Amino acid sequence: MIPELGHFALVVALLVALVQASVPMWGAARNDMALMAVARPAAMLTAALVAFAFGCLAYAFVTSDFSVLNVAEHSYSTLPTRYKFAATWGSHEGSLLLWVLMLSGWACAVAIASRNLPEAFAARVLAVMGFIAAGFLMFLLFTSNPFARLLPAALEGSDLNPLLQDPGMVVHPPMLYMGYVGFSVAFAFAIAALIGGRLDASWARWSRPWTTLAWCFLTIGIALGSAWAYYTLGWGGWWFWDPVENASFMPWLVGTALIHSLAVTEKRGTFRSWTVLLAIVAFSLSLLGTFLVRSGVLTSVHAFATDPARGVYVLAFLVVVVGGSLALFAWRAGAVGGGASFAPLSRESMLLANNILLVVAMASVLLGTLYPLILDTFDAGKISVGPPYFQAVFVPAMAPLVFLMGLGPVAAWRKAELPALWIRVRWAFGVALVTALLLPLTLGSYRPLVAFALFLALWVATSTVAMVVQRLRGAPQRGLAAKLRANSAAWYGMLVAHVGIAVFIVGVTMVRSYEVERDVRMDIDQAVRVGDYDFTFRGVVPAPGPNYKALVGTIDVSRNGRLVRTLHPQKRVFDASGQTMTEAAIATRIRGDLYVSLGEPVAENGAWGVRVYIKPFVDWIWVGAFIMALGGFIAIGDRRYRIAVKARVAALAARAAA
Partner 1 sequence: MRVTSLAGVIALGLVATVFALASSIAPAQTPADAALDARLKRLELTLRCLVCQNQTLADSDAPLAADLRREIRELAQGGKSDDDIRGFLTSRYGDFVLYDPPVQRNTFVLWFGPFALLVAGAAIWWRMGRRRARESQAADDGAAAARGRSLLES
Partner 2 sequence: MKSAWRWSLPFLVFAALAVFLYTGLFRDPREVPSPLIGKPAPAFALRDLHEPGRTFGTTDMRGQVWLLNVWASWCESCRIEHPLLVDLARQKIVPIVGLDYKDKDDLGKKWLADRGNPYSVSIVDGDGRVGIDWGVYGVPETFVVDKEGIIRYKQIGPVNADVLAKTIVPLVRRLQQS
Peptide bond into 152 cis (omega under 30): yes
Per-residue burial over 240-278, b if 16 or more Cβ lie within 10 Å, else e, is bbbbbbbbbbbbbbbbbbbbbbbbbbbbbbbbbbbbbbb
Backbone φ and ψ of 440, nearest 5°: -60, -20
Rg (CA), the chain: 27
Tell me the closest approach of the beta carbon of residue 279 to partner 2, in angstroms: 12
Cα torsion through 408, 410, 412, 414, rounded to 10? 10
- CA dist., res. 505 & res. 290, Å (int): 29
3-state SS string for 361-402? HHHHHHHHHHHHHHHHHCCCCCCCCCHHHHHHHHHHHHHHHH
- Binding of residue 399 to partner 1 (CB under 8 A): no
Among 334, 388, 419, 479, binds partner 2 (CB under 8 A): 334
Q: Are 584 and 597 in contact (CB under 8 A)?
A: yes
Interacting stretch for partner 1, rule CB under 8 A, among 95-103, 199-207, 307-315, 324-332? Answer: 199-207
Interacting stretch for partner 2, rule CB under 8 A, among 65-73, 246-254, 264-272, 317-325? Answer: 317-325
Among 80, 167, 324, 396, binds partner 1 (CB under 8 A): 396
Q: Which does 327 bind (CB under 5 to 8 A by kind): partner 2, partner 1, none?
A: partner 2
- Binding of residue 385 to partner 1 (CB under 8 A): yes
Interacting stretch for partner 2, rule CB under 8 A, among 186-194, 313-321, 539-547, 584-592? Answer: 313-321
Q: Are 290 and 92 in contact (CB under 8 A)?
A: no
Encoded one letter per residue, x for contact with partner 1 by CB under 8 A and - for no contact, window 142-181 reads: ------------xxx-x-----------------------
- Binding of residue 323 to partner 2 (CB under 8 A): yes
- Binding of residue 517 to partner 1 (CB under 8 A): yes
Q: Which does 376 bind (CB under 5 to 8 A by kind): partner 2, partner 1, none?
A: partner 2
Among 5, 37, 51, 318, binds partner 2 (CB under 8 A): 318
Bridge-based pairing of strands 585-589 and 592-601 is antiparallel
Tell me the closest approach of the beta carbon of residue 353 to partner 1, in angstroms: 5
Q: Which does 149 bind (CB under 5 to 8 A by kind): partner 2, partner 1, none?
A: none
Contacts with partner 1 by CB under 8 A: the residue count is 80
Residue type, 589: R
Encoded one letter per residue, x for contact with partner 1 by CB under 8 A and - for no contact, window 536-575 reads: -------------x-----------------------xxx
Q: Are 636 and 493 in contact (CB under 8 A)?
A: yes
Q: Which does 297 bind (CB under 5 to 8 A by kind): partner 2, partner 1, none?
A: partner 2
Q: Closer CB to partner 1, residue 512 or residue 568?
A: 512
Q: Are 595 and 584 in contact (CB under 8 A)?
A: yes
Q: Which helix (H) or strand (E) covers residue 533, if one does? A: strand 533-544
Q: Closer CB to partner 1, residue 188 or residue 257?
A: 257
Q: Are 523 and 605 in contact (CB under 8 A)?
A: yes
Interacting stretch for partner 2, rule CB under 8 A, among 31-39, 100-108, 369-377, 581-589? Answer: 369-377
Among 370, 456, 628, 636, binds partner 2 (CB under 8 A): 370
Q: How far apart are the first and last CA of the chain?
A: 45
Residue 138: partners with Cβ closer than 8 Å, 6 or more residues away: 14
Contacts of partner 2 in 266-285 (CB under 8 A): 273, 277, 280-281, 284
Q: Are 248 and 362 in contact (CB under 8 A)?
A: no
Q: Closer CB to partner 1, residue 556 or residue 575?
A: 575
